[in-house]
């Protein structure tokens, strides 16, 4: 412990965050109008800690609760269209258990999660 002026005490004890709490905080940091720094400050953690949790969420190491406000951003990968292919207007084809779902920037992520969970529960 470190003694501060006027008898204030600062403990260097590390807090333990549950996986659920981490996921909830990460999800909050992705909400529209929120910044990671504001969310970190609100939960009394360093922005670096929050960015680490966000990295873990992106890599699948940390589960993040899904809200209906979350949507996919349009992503375009590649230098051009293969010869003879129909134009691609952005989006992602997601295949689970032999079923392909087309996801675009307008797709409700909550719906996608529910569809994928349902498809995963089907026998392969």
**C-alpha dist (Å) from residue 113 to 72, 98, 105:** 12, 16, 15
Task: Please list the alpha-helical segments (H only) found in the chain.
Answer: 19-29, 36-42, 47-59, 109-121
Judge contact between 13 and 52, C-beta under 8 A: no
What does the pLDDT look like over 49-59, one tens digit per residue? Answer: 999 999 888 88
The residue ranking higher by pLDDT, 26 or 71, is: 26
Cα first-last separation, the chain? 56
Judge contact between 112 and 101, C-beta under 8 A: yes
Judge contact between 62 and 53, C-beta under 8 A: yes
What integer pLDDT is reported at residue 30 of this predicted model? 84
What integer pLDDT is reported at residue 68 of this predicted model? 62
The residue ranking higher by pLDDT, 3 or 20, is: 20
What integer pLDDT is reported at residue 91 of this predicted model? 76
Residues above pLDDT 90, as percent of the chain: 22
| Residue 109 phi, psi dihedral angles, 5° rounding | -65, -30
């Amino acid at each position: 412990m470190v003694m501060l002026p006027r008898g204030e005490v600062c403990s260097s004890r590390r807090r333990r965050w549950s996986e659920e709490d981490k996921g909830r905080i990460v999800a909050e940091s992705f909400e529209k109008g929120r910044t990671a720094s504001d969310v970190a400050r609100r939960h009394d953690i360093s922005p670096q800690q929050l960015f680490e949790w966000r990295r873990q969420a992106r890599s699948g190491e940390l589960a993040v609760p899904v809200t209906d406000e979350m949507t996919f951003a349009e992503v375009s990968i590649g230098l051009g269209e293969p010869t003879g292919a129909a134009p691609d207007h952005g989006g992602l084809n997601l295949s689970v258990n032999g079923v392909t779902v087309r996801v675009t920037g307008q797709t409700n992520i909550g719906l996608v999660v529910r569809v994928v969970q349902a498809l995963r529960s089907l026998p392969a």
